[in-house]
Amino acid sequence: MRRFTITLKSNKLFKGLVAAVFWVGVWQLISMAVAQELLVPAPLAVLSALSGLIKTMEFWRITGISLARIMLGFLSGIAAGCIAAALTTRFKAADCIISPFLRIVRATPVASFTILALVWINNDWLPVFISFLMVVPIVWSNLESGIKQIDVQLLEMAKVYRLGFLKTLIFVRIPSVMPYFMAACATAMGFSWKSGIAAEVISRPGLSVGRQLYNAKIYLETPGVFAWTITVVLISLCLEKLLAAAAKKFGSRFNA
Amino acid sequence: MAITLRDVSFSYDGNKKILDGFSIEFPEKGAVCLMGPSGCGKTTLLRLIAGLEHPQSGTVTGLEGLRAAYVFQENRLLPWMTAFDNVAIASGGFGRQPDAAVWLEKMGLGGNQLKRPKELSGGMKQRVAIARALAAKANFIILDEPFAGLDISLWQQISDMILTEYSDKLIILVTHIPEQAVALKADVIKLDGPPLRFA
């Protein structure tokens, strides 16, 4: 069994490696065909730009601050999404007022919000606000359908055995909704990170990945643009993996 | 005070009446078995007694301050909890409830206390649900086809346990199998419907 899982894992790793080599090869060929570093820098040029970046303290500070900023938006978005879902499923009036608003927010492009919010919000806080705004509707709509799916039979059991509000919440409602919540977090994480970076590019707070991306573009440092983009993608993948691991650890407890 | 339904009318959708001016008085203790064809309204009657439905007209009295234990047709176990916790949660103290272990042991599930419902067979889940009802220390017990999926020697044993635990309390049983009424020493009330009426 153990041997089998190891082979499976290394097989997956091997496949990933083959795919990576293939696409880097394609990239190399394109850059050779275009033959202009300004348009498509070679993989090696990007790698050297990236390795130059990660050696600096500045890089880690900038990445850390961007991450903290966007995580703040993400976490507050989750909290607000949970509250919104609780309200819209509990009170008809809240449903009438909040639901259409969140549907509009969900359908509005990030750029529109960012440009609008630039007028009202300080540059440093804009990415927080944008990632918050992206997360709320995702968490809300997932949780809302989760709450509607709670097994009525289990709620009746809780009522007959007089579990009361708190025990019913903790032992029946929350575990029922947990798989929906985990799925919402996984989706929202990617969204909030990418939209947060997009907001940073537009608002350009002092220390931010977005500003670095923008500057690299302005100064025609295309390898820099690529290097920062790779950073964004890598962090996005790490966050995804982290969340998937958390979902596996906690989520399986709640699967029926 | 005896549990009494007086002139109770009830329908789920407002059209088809499941109960139409139905009255019944249950004894304060002892077992009563409700028998009748499927869909005649027996389960609805149980739900009214358990407070899961409210009559559209008429009254249900005698329930003030009483706690019910209910073995549903479905096991209704919390899938994310162990057999032990499923029993313990209904008996008040969650987490440390020696009674839960005792009841699971009596149900022949001593070695399965820490298993989740999905790891148990249908019959085992039903026994956990019965253990939950017995551990609940309720004032009366409702049993809606409680022995489905259990073999005869098992439900006879469990009937004895129910009789001991609820010896001076009311037991309401719904079943199609007359021997189960005998095992619980229940007075049989034959019903028909809908709307529910005495046959």
Nearest to A154 among B51, B78, B118 (CB): B78
* Percent of chain A's residues with pLDDT above 70: 94
What is the per-residue pLDDT for B108? 92
What is the per-residue pLDDT for A157? 96
Burial group, residue B108, by CB count within 10 angstroms (0-12, 13-18, 19+): middle
- Which one-letter DSSP state was computed for residue B189? E
Is residue A253 very low, low, confident or very high in pLDDT (cuts 50, 70, 90)?
Answer: low
- Which one-letter DSSP state was computed for residue A176? H
pLDDT digits 0-9 by tens, A114-173: 888 888 888 889 999 999 999 999 999 999 999 999 999 999 999 999 999 999 999 999
Is residue B137 very low, low, confident or very high in pLDDT (cuts 50, 70, 90)?
Answer: confident
Q: Does the N-terminal peptide bond of residue B194 adopt cis geometry, omega within 30 degrees of 0?
A: yes
* Segment A14-26 mean pLDDT: 92
Residues A35-52: b if buried by 16+ CB within 10 A, e if exposed: eeeeebbbbebbbebbee
CA distance B77 to chain A (A): 7
Spatial neighbors of B86 by CB under 8 A, at least 6 apart, are B77, B78, B117, B128, B132
A166 CB within 8 Å of a chain B CB: no
- Which one-letter DSSP state was computed for residue B186? P
Does the pLDDT of residue A3 top 70, yes or no? Answer: no
Could you say which residues from 103 to 132 on chain B have a Cβ atom under 8 Å away from some Cβ of chain A?
A: 118, 132
User: What does pTM read for this prediction?
Assistant: 0.84
Is residue A252 very low, low, confident or very high in pLDDT (cuts 50, 70, 90)?
Answer: low
- Maximal CA-CA distance, chain A: 75
What is the per-residue pLDDT for B175? 94
Q: Mutate which of B52, B78, B116, B119 to test chain A, going by most A C-beta atoms within 10 A?
A: B78
Is residue A77 within 8 Å of residue A135, measured between CB atoms?
A: yes
CA distance A89 to chain B (A): 21
Is residue A7 very low, low, confident or very high in pLDDT (cuts 50, 70, 90)?
Answer: low
- Maximal CA-CA distance, chain B: 49
Nearest alpha carbon to residue A177 among A144, A220, A223 = A144
* Percent of chain B's residues with pLDDT above 70: 97
Q: Which residue of B has its CA nearest to A254?
A: B80
What residues does each domain of chain A span?
A: 1-35, 40-255
Does the pLDDT of residue A4 top 70, yes or no? Answer: no
* Segment A232-250 mean pLDDT: 86
Most confident of the ranges A24-38, A66-80, A118-132: A66-80
Is residue A38 very low, low, confident or very high in pLDDT (cuts 50, 70, 90)?
Answer: confident
Is residue A13 very low, low, confident or very high in pLDDT (cuts 50, 70, 90)?
Answer: confident
Does the pLDDT of residue B14 top 90, yes or no? Answer: no
Q: Is B78's CB within 8 Å of A159's CB?
A: no
Distance CA(B72)–CA(A153), nearest Å, equals: 9
Q: Give the rounded distance of the alpha carbon of B54 from its chain centre.
A: 18
What is the per-residue pLDDT for B193? 79
Does the pLDDT of residue A256 top 60, yes or no? Answer: no
Contacts of A160 in chain B (CB under 8 A): 50-52, 68-70
Contacts of B126 in chain A (CB under 8 A): none
Is residue B15 within 8 Å of residue B33, measured between CB atoms?
A: no
What is the per-residue pLDDT for A6? 59
- Which one-letter DSSP state was computed for residue A91? -
Backbone angles phi, psi at B141, to 5 degrees: -130, 140
The rounded mean pLDDT for chain B is 92
Whole-angstrom CA distances from A31 to A20, A48, A214, B129 are: 16, 16, 22, 68
What is the per-residue pLDDT for A248? 78
Does the pLDDT of residue B33 top 80, yes or no? Answer: yes
Does the pLDDT of residue A89 top 90, yes or no? Answer: yes
Does the pLDDT of residue B10 top 90, yes or no? Answer: yes
What is the per-residue pLDDT for A116? 86
pLDDT digits 0-9 by tens, B149-174: 899 999 999 999 999 999 899 999 99
Pairing type for strands B17-25 and B4-11 reads antiparallel
Q: What ipTM goes with this model?
A: 0.94
Q: Is A256's CB within 8 Å of B80's CB?
A: yes
Nearest to B76 among A153, A162, A163 (CB): A153
What is the per-residue pLDDT for B199? 86
What is the per-residue pLDDT for A114? 85
Does the pLDDT of residue B95 top 60, yes or no? Answer: no
At residue B21's C-alpha, the angle toward residues B15 and B27, to 5°, is 130
* Segment B6-28 mean pLDDT: 92
* Segment A194-207 mean pLDDT: 90
Q: Which numeric CATH code is attached to A40-255?
A: 1.10.3720.10
Is residue A73 within 8 Å of residue A128, measured between CB atoms?
A: yes
Nearest to A171 among B68, B89, B118 (CB): B89
What is the per-residue pLDDT for B196? 93
DSSP codes of every residue in A48-90: HHHHHHHTSHHHHHHHHHHHHHHHHHHHHHHHHHHHHHHHHHH
Spatial neighbors of A48 by CB under 8 A, at least 6 apart, are A223
Token duo for residue B35 = 């028998």
Q: Is A162's CB within 8 Å of B76's CB?
A: no
What is the per-residue pLDDT for A255? 60
